[in-house]
Chain A
Amino acid sequence: MDLKRLFLKANNDLESTDGKGSTRKIICKKCKKRIAVSRIRNNHFVCPECGHYFQVRARRRILMLTDRRSFIETDRELSSKNILGFPEYDDKLRAAMEKSRETEGVICGEGEIEGHRVCLFSMDSNFMMGSMGAVVGEKITRLFEYATVRHLPVLGITVSGGARMQEGMISLMQMSKVSAAVKRHSKDGNLYIVLLTNPTTGGVDASFAMLGDITLAEPGARIGFAGPRVIEKSLGKTLPKDFQRAERVLECGFIDAIVPRCEQKKYIAKLLKIHGM
């Protein structure tokens, strides 16, 4: 148990500053090479050897996309409760908070991108796979309502396994709640840009991830409704390699553009500029 924890930290912590500073190295999952953490961090969390996209934490995403010191977080104090008394959920929440050092699976707030004011939400895959419970739904809904009143654009960065089972129908109905808030924001003529990152699936895919005016994705990101293993099992055959990958989803007509990580900030700034935001 303790050992597992250690591994978790050692593995995904491109973020930690553990005294060794920039000399620390990790092994890239894809090319298996040992690479200095500093090199990966300086390369937008993309492997400088093979181009593998490392997971980026929600807070890091915001730092990467917004102007220095422009971001002001909202609703950080909201944290989940075990409303249904679901077994083991309290422990899971505690572990997720410890692992992610966040209060919930989404960070919301307002900031600037190359001087353009924008409301942002950024999901965190380290918090119970970015699953959406009542608090995630509430925070994103509040953000859209805030942006509607102030006529601000919203930029959403999604990563999620879908609705959070431990909150039952309450979590499923967050899809309805957020979608309705997105619609109100849209009807008032406001811009919503969504950046889909790996993976964006389930109830998040089937709601606000698919409701953007402009839908962007990271290269290779898995984007889909049903889990690939579920489909594989029900069909009894292996799936095509590009199935539910951003490139294929674009071919199918559901994404406007795939934008490499190093270009995202400029790209989004340009979109905001064209919309006169």
Chain B
Amino acid sequence: MGKNVVRTNEEYSTVLGARSENRLTATDYINALIDDFIELHGDRLFGDDRAVIAGIGFLGDIPVTVIGIEKGKNTEDRIFRNFGSAHPEGYRKALRLMKQAEKFGRPVLCIVDTAGAFCGIDAEERGQGRAIADNLAGMSDLKTPVISVVIGEGGSGGALALCHSDRIWMTEDAYFSVVSPESCANILWKDTARADEAAKALCLTADKLMKLGLIDRICRKGKLKELSDNLKDEFKKLMQMKTEDLIEARYQRFRKVGYR
């Protein structure tokens, strides 16, 4: 009786939309926002994670480091990009280049779009947990501004690992969640068909997260020129702050979450 029909609501539609294949990916954002982009590869420890595209270029007249999680454009590309699920090397490449950005006084832009960090034997044995933890700790006192923009899926720890930032922005059609609504429904009710209820309960949409004070701005979808202007303005503001103030403000940004 209607077993194959996916029940949905506003929140779950957002999740499904964020996963759909005909969306802008990190590469589109990099192409639109960054001039003279030069990609830089590798974590200097094990390998190069293709799910993470990182490099340097200009945002207007500001030299920036950009780190994006890329899901891929077509089937072949998606396989190449591991569907945007990073291994530990991806997070380590990101942190390496953030430290480099700190050295050269460049701000960092993270573009986040992932269902989650990759779940596999290799990923575990190369320290997925440690890699994410290192990013959280390493970004927490990075001496240069960081803005993260969630453009599609904000899948749990794998997305959070690039979001220990001064500003977290989301596009209006993105989601950010502690767990996928399907897993949540499965764990709580042993019924993945109730993913819609879970999506609603998890408060994972941009407007809900904005109301909770967990994100700082909602970006209109597809308005990349507007995003570019907003990023330039915000980076300029953040770059004027004294380093200690910047780091202290970042600490307080997360310090107040959940308990005021």
Chain A residues near B176: list those with CB within 8 A: 169
- Which of these, A134, A168, A175, contacts B259 with CB under 8 Å? A134
Identify whether the interface residues of A are mostly helix, strand, loop, or mixed: helix
- Determine whether the beta carbon of A235 is less than 8 Å from that of B121: yes
Does A267 have its Cβ within 8 Å of any Cβ on chain B?
no
**Considering only CB atoms, which chain B residue lies closest to A141 in the complex?**
B255
**Considering only CB atoms, which chain A residue lies closest to B202 in the complex?**
A168
Most B CB contacts (10 A, CB to CB) among A86, A206, A207, A240 go to: A206
Task: Give Cα A207 to B129, complex, Å.
Answer: 7
- Determine whether the beta carbon of A183 is less than 8 Å from that of B141: yes
- Which of these, B201, B204, B209, B254, contacts A180 with CB under 8 Å? B254
Task: Give Cα A126 to B133, complex, Å.
Answer: 25
**Considering only CB atoms, which chain B residue lies closest to A172 in the complex?**
B178
Interface string of A151-190 (1 = CB under 8 A from B): 0000000000001110111111111110111111011000
- Determine whether the beta carbon of A226 is less than 8 Å from that of B128: yes
B124-172 at interface with A (beta carbon < 8 Å) = 124-130, 132-134, 136-138, 140-141, 156-157, 160-161, 163-164
- Determine whether the beta carbon of A179 is less than 8 Å from that of B121: no
Does A42 have its Cβ within 8 Å of any Cβ on chain B?
no
Does A111 have its Cβ within 8 Å of any Cβ on chain B?
no
- Determine whether the beta carbon of B188 is less than 8 Å from that of A209: no
**Count of residues in A whose CB is under 8 Å from the partner chain:** 60
- Determine whether the beta carbon of B120 is less than 8 Å from that of A183: no
Answer whether A179 and B140 are a contact pair too, CB < 8 Å, given A207-B133, A225-B129, A252-B127.
Answer: yes
Does A50 have its Cβ within 8 Å of any Cβ on chain B?
no
Interface string of B64-88 (1 = CB under 8 A from A): 0000000000000000000000000
Task: Give Cα A34 to B225, complex, Å.
Answer: 71
- Determine whether the beta carbon of A177 is less than 8 Å from that of B257: yes
Does B33 have its Cβ within 8 Å of any Cβ on chain A?
no
**Considering only CB atoms, which chain A residue lies closest to B157 in the complex?**
A206
- Determine whether the beta carbon of A171 is less than 8 Å from that of B120: no
Q: Known A-B contacts: A163-B179, A253-B127. Give 19 more (CB < 8 A).
A: A85-B201, A86-B201, A138-B259, A167-B258, A168-B204, A172-B160, A176-B140, A176-B254, A183-B137, A206-B117, A206-B129, A206-B132, A209-B133, A223-B129, A225-B128, A226-B120, A231-B120, A243-B124, A254-B127
- Give me the interface of A with B, judged by CB distance under 8 Å: 78, 83-88, 133-135, 137-138, 141, 163-165, 167-177, 179-184, 186-187, 202-203, 205-211, 223-226, 230-231, 234-235, 239-240, 243-244, 248, 252-254
> Which 8 A-B pairs have CB atoms at the shortest separation, nearest pair first?
A134-B258, A179-B136, A180-B140, A205-B129, A226-B119, A206-B132, A210-B133, A225-B129
